[in-house]
Structure 1
Amino acid sequence: MKHKSKKITQSAKGEECQIRIPGVCNFNEETTVFCHLNGAGMALKNNDNEGAYGCSNCHAAMDGQLKTTFSHDELKLMHLEAVMRTQRILLEKELIVLK
C-alpha cells in the first residue's frame, strides 16, 4: 500500500536542502522540493515518508539530469542521510508520528 501525503510533499517549500551534495547544492530555499527515493522501476516513487528536502540542483543530480563526480552509491548514501534528516524535521512538524 502506498502512503501519500500532500502535506508532507508541500512541507518542503521554503525549507533548507537536506541532501547538500558538495559542489552541486545551490542552498536556495526557494527551490526546495520533496525528493523521493527512487522506486523499484522507471517512474515509480516510494512512499512520501521516504524522501528528503532537496534544492533544485540536488534534485536534478539525484534524478540523473545533472552530472556529478560522485558515484551512484555515493549519491544514494547522501540521499539516504538526507531522508533521515528530513524525517527528523517531519517529526518536529508532527507530519509523521511514531506510535
Structure 2
Amino acid sequence: MRVVSQKLRDSARGQACTLRLSGCGHDDGTVVLAHIPCGQKGMGMKGPDMIACFACDNCHSIIDGRRRGEYTDADLIRALAETQLIWIKQGLMRVPGVAA
C-alpha cells in the first residue's frame, strides 16, 4: 500500500532531527521527513510516509548512502518512535483509545 501524506511531510519543518547520528545538525534548518529503509524502497521508490523520521541533511544523507557514516537498526527504531509520538501529540497520527 502506497501511503503519501503531505501533512506528515510538512510536519518536519521546524523540527529537530530525531536520528541524531554522528555529525548531526540537530535543528539546523535542514530537517526533512526521511523515509526509513524498510524493504519497500528502490530506485525512484520510497517507503510509506509513516515509516519515516525527522532527519537533518547529514543524517538523511547517511541513511540514504550519500554520505559515509554508521547507524544501527536501534537508531532507526528510536527515531521512528520519537517521530510517531510527535505526530500523535500533534493529532497527525491517531491510535484508538489514546488521547493526544
Which residue identity lines up with residue 4 of structure 1 in the other structure?
V
Deviation of residue 77 (structure 1)?
2.5
SS in 1 for 2:87: helix
Identify the residue that residue 17 of structure 1 maps to in structure 2: 17
Higher helix share: 1
The answer to whether the aligner puts 1:96 opposite 2:93 as a matched pair is yes
Query: 1:62-86 CA deviation, whole Å, 9 max, x = no partner?
Result: 1011102x26xx2x33122100100
| TM-score where L is the length of structure 1 | 0.85
Q: Structure 2 vs 1, CA of residues 42 and 81 (structure 1 numbering), >3 Å: closer, same or farther?
A: same
Q: What secondary structure does 1:35 align onto?
A: strand
The DSSP-based 3-state class of the residue aligned with 1:52 is strand
User: Does the Cα contact within 8 Å between 1:17 and 1:55 map onto a contact in 2?
Assistant: yes
Aligned length: 94
Give the gaps of 5 or more residues in structure 2.
Answer: none
After TM superposition, the score normalised by the length of structure 2 is: 0.85
Name the structure 2 match of 1:34.
33
Give the share of equivalent positions with the same residue, in percent.
27
